[in-house]
Amino acid sequence: MQAIIDGFLKFQREAFPQRSALFKQLATRHTPSTLFVTCSDSRVVPELLTQQEPGDLFVIRNAGNIVPSYGPEPGGVSASVEYAVAVLGVGDIVICGHSDCGAMTAIANCTCLDHLPAVANWLRHAESARVVNAARQHASAQACLDALVRENVIAQLANLKTHPAIALALEQGRLNLHGWVYDIESGGIAALDGPSQAFVPLAEYPHTCALAGKPRHAA
């Protein structure tokens, strides 16, 4: 804990003065361009891997970078998604999975979670990814896990589209959806290409998008 406190003191002493003008603007203005949904894993730091400043990203973090489908009793993730799109007006949403994900490892290994009922219930939101991935052949346990991480990103994008605010923004052509998988060891990101449904290196294909909102014109 002392390291965290020391870090805050260093922030006040060094980092904050360097960005004092930015923080003065942010004190009364909140206009992030992107909603970034990723895992709570401490090795994944959205602002670091995207090199964004405070105020640029609206971030949701939870076990398994999950977005539950919209339902009669929306939870905190649903409320944050709705707020980001309907109030803040973000133009892009990123669902970002990552390598060596503990949540996906538990699913891939069929780990007994009877002693963690809240975790078990939460991971049911990734059930479609588990079912699809289990129906495929994999060369190894590692390949199975890597595939599940990717399939879960696809599943959460599908869940995301069930939210009314998302459906409306896509219909009006003011929102794009992105599916990423961050590799911790290499620092690379694989992005979901919507038309092919394949994950491609973001560094080589920087304009890759999982789904671009396009307004439909009335007949």
Q: If we measure between CA atoms, which residue out of 33, 66, 65 comes closest to residue 52?
A: 33
Q: Is residue 133 scored above 60 in pLDDT?
A: yes
The pTM score is 0.94
Q: Which of 96, 101, 125, 163 is catalytic?
A: 101
Q: Is 101 annotated as a binding residue?
A: yes
Position 72 scores a pLDDT of 79
Instruction: Reply yes or no on whether 146 is catalytic.
Output: no
Q: Is 125 annotated as a binding residue?
A: no
Position 71 scores a pLDDT of 86
CATH of segment(s) 31-212: 3.40.1050.10
Q: Is residue 217 scored above 60 in pLDDT?
A: no
| Tens-place pLDDT, residues 41-80 | 999 999 999 999 999 999 999 999 999 999 877 789 999 9
Instruction: Reply yes or no on whether 174 is catalytic.
Output: no
Q: Which of 98, 130, 150, 163 is catalytic?
A: 98
Instruction: Reply yes or no on whether 98 is catalytic.
Output: yes
pLDDT classification of 214: cutoffs 50, 70, 90: confident
- For the chain, the average pLDDT equals 95
Q: Is 112 annotated as a binding residue?
A: no
Give CA–CA dist 58/44, Å, rounded. Answer: 15
pLDDT classification of 219: cutoffs 50, 70, 90: very low
Q: Is residue 151 scored above 50 in pLDDT?
A: yes
- List, as one string, the DSSP characters of 104-171: HHHHHTT---TT-HHHHHHHGGGHHHHHHHHTS--SSHHHHHHHHHHHHHHHHHHHHTTSHHHHHHHH
Q: Which of 41, 130, 150, 163 is catalytic?
A: 41
Q: Which of 30, 43, 124, 136 is catalytic?
A: 43
